Each structure stands twice: as structure tokens, then as C-alpha cells.
Structure 1
Amino acid sequence: MSTAEEHLIKQMMTKVQCMFCGRRYRAENVRVLAFQDDVWYLHVICPRCRSHGLVTAIIQQGTPVVVDVSEEEWTRFREQTPVSADDLLDMHELLRERGHDFRRLLGPEKPPAIRRRRRPGRSVRRA
């Protein structure tokens, strides 16, 4: 185990709360007892209520992310141009016009087309 791995594990444990009082653990209150492959065994002490705990953490590198996007959609999204400041302003204006109700835009009917408006001093980039 490298010191970088131990540091990472301890930092991850600072996001975990004590099951008794709800206080988050501190890195200095986490001790690595053992590890093998992707399994880490830790001893933790709550900084507030001083309760002790044993934690088994499974840390897997390169775990695939499950997404609800088809390969065709993934390709289409990947080929899109980055979102620009003008895109964000257009969405802001659209939401303001629709009463800030994003759900209405995603309703059963197709969302209205976003009109591109030129703003003074801004160039319009075409894809």
C-alpha cells in the first residue's frame, strides 16, 4: 500500500458519517488495518461521540459506469459542439419565458425550438 492510496482512503472516509451521532469522520481518526486486492479493512473513531467502528470498503478502479444512453445517442452527443455562453443565456431566456418550469419543456410534447438571437457585440457560432 502506498501512502497516496492510504491518504485517498482516509479522505474518502471523511465523507462518511458516524452511525450513532451523524458526525463525519476525520482522516486522522481512520486507521487502515489491512487490505487485499480491492478490499480495505479500516478502524474508525468518531471525533464527537468516540464510538469505534470497523469498515470494510471495496474500492474498484475502472468500474464501468452504467448509463441510460444508447450507443447512437452517445455518438451524437460526443460529436456536438461544447455548450457556449450564448447557449446558456438562450436557455435562461427560454425558462424565464416559460415561468421557470423546466418540467413543462420536457412534457409529452416536443420542446419548442430555441431561437438563436444575436446579442450586441457577440458573434454567433454555427455548427
Structure 2
Amino acid sequence: MTPQEIKEILIDSCLQQNPDIFFKTLFLENVKTSFPSKINFFHFFCHIIDNTKENSIGQLHLECIEKDIPDQHIVAADTLEFYSHLKFYDERHTYPRIMIYYLIINKEITFDISPF
């Protein structure tokens, strides 16, 4: 599965507020996270989704901010400066309800989640 396809599944999971949609995809070999384990990432992802369900008004919509990577060979997976953003907003709040960072290098995609 390509990084773009993986990202689309994650987006669908967030828009539907159903983390189970992303579960099997998370465990593909070319999916990485900044968390100590993929299980830890998934538990936190579930927590963020549950919190969003409780505190959002109306449907979520997506704003995607793509960042160019100057040289993919020098970017470390923990350098958030080069991560692109997926920001999910509800119908009322000005701040995102869910914010996920991702970085695509070669055929791998790495995810991180903002706690706020």
C-alpha cells in the first residue's frame, strides 16, 4: 500500500470518527509512528477520537498543509519541522479538534499526533 493510500485511510478514520478503520493499516511495515509502539499510538489515537466525538459540533472537515522536504536523506523522523499536517475542524471551533503530523520518505509514512 502506498503512503498516499495509507494517509487517505487515516483521513477517512478521522472524518468518520472511527479509529478501527485505521487499525489494520497502522500495522503495515511501511507505517511508522513517533510513539514507542504502534499500540501506544493507536490507544492515543482512540483517545483523541473519543474526545473529538464528545466535544465537537457538527461534521469534521479537513485542512491539509503539505510541506516540501528539501533533501529526504537528511530528515530525521523526529524533526517535526518537515512534517505535513492534517487538521480536522468542526463547524464551530477555530482550533483543530484533531491534528496529525505525517512525513513521507521513500515508501514509508511516519505519523505523530498533537495532544492539543
Give the alignment's TM-score, normalised by structure 2: 0.30
Q: Rg: which structure is higher?
A: 1
If each structure's strand is expressed as a fraction of its own residues, which one has the higher value?
2
Give the alignment's TM-score, normalised by structure 1: 0.28
Higher relative contact order, chain-length normalized (CA < 8 Å, sep 6+): 2
If each structure's helix is expressed as a fraction of its own residues, which one has the higher value?
2
